[in-house]
Amino acid sequence: MHYIYEETQTLDERAYTTFGLNPEILMEHAGSALAKAVKKKLTCQQKALFVCGVGNNGADGMVAARLLHGANNVSLYLPFPPKSSLAKLQLKRAMQAGVPIVENLIDADVYVDALFGAGLNRPLDGFTCNLIDALNAKEGYKIACDMPSGIVNDLSLSSTIFNAHETITMGALKLCLFHDALKDSVGKIKVAPLGLSRNLYALPSPFYLLQKNELKLPLRTKKNCNKGTFGHVAIVQGNKEGAALLAGMGAFHFGAGLVTLLGERKRKTPPYLIQASTLPKKSSVIVAGMGLEMPFDTVWLRHLLLENTLPLVIDASLCHHELMLELLASKKPLVLTPHPKEFSSIWHFTCNEKVSVEQIQANRFFYAKTFSKRFPHITLLLKGANTIIAHQGELYINTYGTPALAKGGSGDVLAGMIGALIAQGYSLKEATIHASLAHALASKKLTCNTFAFTPIDICKGLKCL
């Protein structure tokens, strides 16, 4: 996992005091990394335009332009005169090296946004919005220096954001780069070292970026085993029977030894799924919520979920029901897997505050972190373009989800997968993290197009992990 930071000024200052570096040294390294990224996208006949702002982000762009000039066709465009001392110094050096400065936005093959980076402390004005709109309309390859312009340093967003194919972020990953609304604006994210290895520059952080090579699959290495060795997942069926069926398939395909669908009515199911009206004695975990239509038998469900010590995975309709308050008060081991609308209901129940989906989406990190601190026995998986797993104030961010997963039923499979890992002995946090990774990565294993993918294809993809 890689650490993610709300701000990196603290890390820069530590580099100065602990390692004897200074802002100019860090800037030269930042400019060098940016220059390398630009050079990879240029042939000898192609042109790069660096659009530079008034502060140190603009100065990074000036350093990169100076380093490339002479071997590559580069120009600087400065819509505003530089203000910071380093920006003035780097502009002077670029001019002395002969870097061309243009008066207007010209056509190029590569455009570099070095306008603001992490230094933006207010929404963009009209002129700058028009400039970014013009850059976004250009045909060339687009690279953002540190972060796309338009991201305010309080994690809010301007009305216009630079749309990058690639972001070269300086020193360490910034939390704002993983805002759902920026999924189509940041492109590929690469971290530029600033005169120190990433490990030396970093400090511990409560935010983590999940890596696919960290996926811990439930591989069966023990030879003396039986189906009971791998746990028994009990899944509550609702009137929308397909949801529980998909959860059951997800659990079975992800290694659970036994999967039972709980309900009074017998339904047609795959032969490997058991059906029962009562909770099996040796159940390992209960998965509930998907496919439940309100009103449902609250008394029966309360007894099923609360009159035992089994861990729970709760999804979908239960997030909108007052039974959620009793589940939270019970202090039972609990995983919640809401999408933003469901999380809005959970927040209302638990915090007695109405928060809209729009508010949650604009402040996903805040709400997920705050909730996980208030309920330390709960593991929260907040669905989105970048899935957040929150536990005891720590956030784990999964960026591997694809548009192919934006189908009804995908979340039901995920709930079953989490239940399967809990049944096989994973902690609730580990189960949620690794099921989330496997769920996303499985969607990339099949080579079909993105619109025809089905929840059952996730199960097929699990076989390829």
Q: What's the first-to-final CA gap in the chain, in angstroms?
A: 19
**What is the percent of the chain with per-residue pLDDT over 70, rounded to a whole number?**
99
* 117 annotated ligand-binding residue: yes
* 149 annotated ligand-binding residue: yes
Given a contact cutoff of 8 angstroms between Cβ atoms, the answer to whether 216 and 263 are in contact is no
337/127 Cα distance (integer angstroms): 42
Q: What is the pLDDT of residues 76-87, one digit of tens each?
A: 999 999 999 999
- Residue 263 pLDDT > 80: yes
Q: Give the SS3 label for residue 392.
A: coil
* 94 annotated ligand-binding residue: no
Mean pLDDT of 100-125: 91
Order of strands across the sheet that contains 141-145: 101-102, 73-77, 47-52, 110-114, 141-145, 166-170, 188-192
Give the pLDDT band of residue 239 (cuts 50, 70, 90): confident
Mean pLDDT of 225-244: 92
Mean pLDDT of 225-245: 93
Residue 193, preceding bond cis, omega within 30 degrees? Answer: no
Residue 102 dihedral angles phi and psi, to the nearest 5°: -105, 155
Mean pLDDT of 352-359: 93
Mean pLDDT of 255-284: 91
CA distances from 216 to 107, 311, 352, 432 (A): 47, 20, 37, 11
Given a contact cutoff of 8 angstroms between Cβ atoms, the answer to whether 369 and 392 are in contact is no
| Residue spans of beta strands (DSSP E) within 383-436 | 387-391, 394-398
* 442 annotated ligand-binding residue: no
* 107 annotated ligand-binding residue: no
Q: What is the pLDDT of residues 310-321, one digit of tens each?
A: 999 999 888 888
Strand pairing class (334-336; 47-52):
unpaired
Q: Domains of the chain, with CATH numbers? A: 2-204 (3.40.50.10260), 213-462 (3.40.1190.20)
Mean pLDDT of 435-455: 88
Entry pTM: 0.94
* 184 annotated ligand-binding residue: no
> What's the pLDDT score for residue 238?
84
Q: Give the SS3 label for residue 176.
A: helix
* 239 annotated ligand-binding residue: no
* 58 annotated ligand-binding residue: yes
Q: What is the pLDDT of residues 368-406, one digit of tens each?
A: 999 999 999 999 999 999 999 999 999 999 999 999 999
Residue with tokens 């996730």: 458
* 72 annotated ligand-binding residue: no
* 120 annotated ligand-binding residue: yes
* 224 annotated ligand-binding residue: no
- Residue 267 pLDDT > 90: no
43/39 Cα distance (integer angstroms): 8
* 146 annotated ligand-binding residue: yes
Q: What is the pLDDT of residues 42-85, one digit of tens each?
A: 988 899 999 999 999 999 999 999 999 999 999 999 999 999 99
> What's the pLDDT score for residue 176?
92
* 118 annotated ligand-binding residue: yes
- Residue 296 pLDDT > 80: no
Give 51's DSSP letter.
E
Question: DSSP states of 61-111 as a string?
Answer: HHHHHHHHBTTBEEEEE-SS---SHHHHHHHHHHHHTT--EESS----SEE
Residues in the chain: 465
Q: What is the pLDDT of residues 405-427, one digit of tens each?
A: 999 999 999 999 999 999 999 99
* 56 annotated ligand-binding residue: yes
Q: Which of 293-302, 321-330, 453-462 has the lowest mean pLDDT?
A: 293-302
Considering the chain, what is the average pLDDT of its residues? 93
Give the pLDDT band of residue 447 (cuts 50, 70, 90): low
* 78 annotated ligand-binding residue: no
- The better pLDDT of the pair 159, 429 is held by 429
Cβ count near 54 (within 10 Å):
19
What's the token pair of residue 382?
């907040």
Taken in order 192, 194, 198, 202, the sign of the CA dihedral is negative
> What's the pLDDT score for residue 313?
97
